[in-house]
Amino acid sequence: MSNFEKEIEIQRIKVFKSAPKIQLISPCKIGDGIIKLSTEEERKYIHLFDKKNTAISFFIPASGSGSRMFQFIFDFLANNKKSEAMNRLLNNLNQFAFFDNFDASTKEKISENKLSEKEIASLIVDQKGLNLANSPKGLIPFHKKGKQLLTPFQEQLLQGLELQNRASFHFTIQEEFKKEIQKNLEELNLKNQQVSFSYQDKSTNSIAFKEDGEMLLSDNKKPCTRPAGHGALIHNLNQIKSEYVFIKNIDNVQHFEKREIALKTWKILTGFLIEFKTDAKKVIEAPSLDSLVKLNEKYQFCSKEILEEISSSKEIISLLNRPSRICGMVINEGLPGGAPFWVKNNRKISKQIVEKTQISEDPDQLKTLQKSSHFNPVLIVASPVDLNGNKIDLQKHIDHQSYFIVNKKQEGESIKYMELPGLWNGAMSDWNTIFMETPTESFSPVKSINDLLEPPHNAN
């Protein structure tokens, strides 16, 4: 049996049995898995970041299309029923940065009410107009700075370079938009910008199976595959060599005038991770269980159950030389997404960022899920090197038993396939993880185009 045939069988078995579920023990809270700093402590870590001045990289998943941002427009065009969201967009149309991309004639027709609401809606999303729904989210103008329109790609660079003028940037993108994205970044006329791109590795794609267990085949009789989710990006992240890598989503960027809290947050998170690694290195220089316990009391990176299983200096060194990360956590205000929990998985208790799809429908588990006080906004400082600065192979720290089963339609067939563990979920399962409360203002994602009307996206 070839390696490919073996992989087919492995995936077939996983897809047609129930996806493994994580067992929630309890939500992480302040003092029990989440650290909250005082103002004085924040100043200390900002100073440490500035003093250290270590090279940083940004790793920004940016392959998403903008189409979901305009769903309420598509609904309006399809059924002619105006929603509250549609009214809000039409009533504030000239407040959006993208409005400036309409030609003078269109702007005049809009101001003189010569276009119907449906015609305006079509001009926003369709190819005959701005075609925003078919553009990568990162290329949609989000903000205005004077007369300049800025896209998320551009603002991620401007924000990051203000944090450190030699920072490098890596975007994971759709390959067909690479030239357009490069052109967009060149419009900034920045010198010595260090920007690189990668694409989700097609070799990580999952095989699509029909309901009867057979592979779905294309017209040329080759197996049909599907992208295996953003967990596959661990392979891209594994290529980044910096000691500190900042992970954030492309749409989480504030108006230039509202950037200060986000920049301050990155400094605090990094300064704290720098100190963790400095203290951890002292422990491995003279390893003892007592010093490890004291380290954990300060940083809360490890469960007591794992510490109780450690019995040798070799095990202490192995534990502390894993990849490490600090994840900002904002107070939960009802948004969907991952949250910080103590979980039991593969007979080990650890700290994880957990999505609802990873747990069972057991009532007790759902109650535990609802008790979560914080939410994961994807503000992560990752350190993919050990305490001596050696690059770690991140693929050795993935929980391969964590995966999702997806049911979809493809080529008229009902199909099932496997999604890899999420990038900050199972793909980072075996990392030393610190959670820290961060300000809500550092998190301003744009999931709907109307989110751009909110305060974080306006200069006032």
pLDDT, tens digit, 9 for 90 and up, residues 327-369: 999 998 766 678 999 999 777 899 999 988 888 889 999 999 8
Binning pLDDT at 50, 70 and 90, where does residue 33 land?
very high
Q: Are 377 and 438 contacting, i.e. CB atoms less than 8 angstroms apart? A: yes
**For residue 271, what pLDDT is reported?**
98
Please give the model's pTM, rounded to 2 decimal places.
0.93
Question: In the chain, what is the straight-line distance between the N-terminal and C-terminal CA atoms, in Å?
Answer: 65
CA distance 85 to 74: 12
For residue 154, pLDDT over 80 is answered with yes
**For residue 411, what pLDDT is reported?**
66
**For residue 400, what pLDDT is reported?**
84
Binning pLDDT at 50, 70 and 90, where does residue 65 land?
confident
User: Which residues, including other chains, have CB under 8 Å from residue 433's CB and lie 6 or more apart?
Assistant: 301, 324, 325, 326, 327, 350, 351, 352
For residue 1, pLDDT over 70 is answered with no
Average pLDDT over residues 316-322: 97
**How confident is the prediction for the chain on average, in pLDDT?**
92
**For residue 146, what pLDDT is reported?**
87
In percent, the amount of the chain with pLDDT more than 70 equals 99
For residue 404, pLDDT over 70 is answered with yes
Question: pLDDT tens for residues 254-284?
Answer: 998 999 999 999 999 999 999 999 999 999 9
User: Which residues, including other chains, have CB under 8 Å from residue 112's CB and lie 6 or more apart?
Assistant: none
- CA 367 to the chain's CA centroid: 26
User: Which residues, including other chains, have CB under 8 Å from residue 351's CB and lie 6 or more apart?
Assistant: 28, 33, 300, 301, 302, 303, 340, 341, 342, 343, 433, 435
**For residue 2, what pLDDT is reported?**
75
**For residue 383, what pLDDT is reported?**
98
Q: Are 90 and 96 contacting, i.e. CB atoms less than 8 angstroms apart? A: no
**For residue 39, what pLDDT is reported?**
97
Average pLDDT over residues 315-321: 97
Binning pLDDT at 50, 70 and 90, where does residue 6 land?
confident
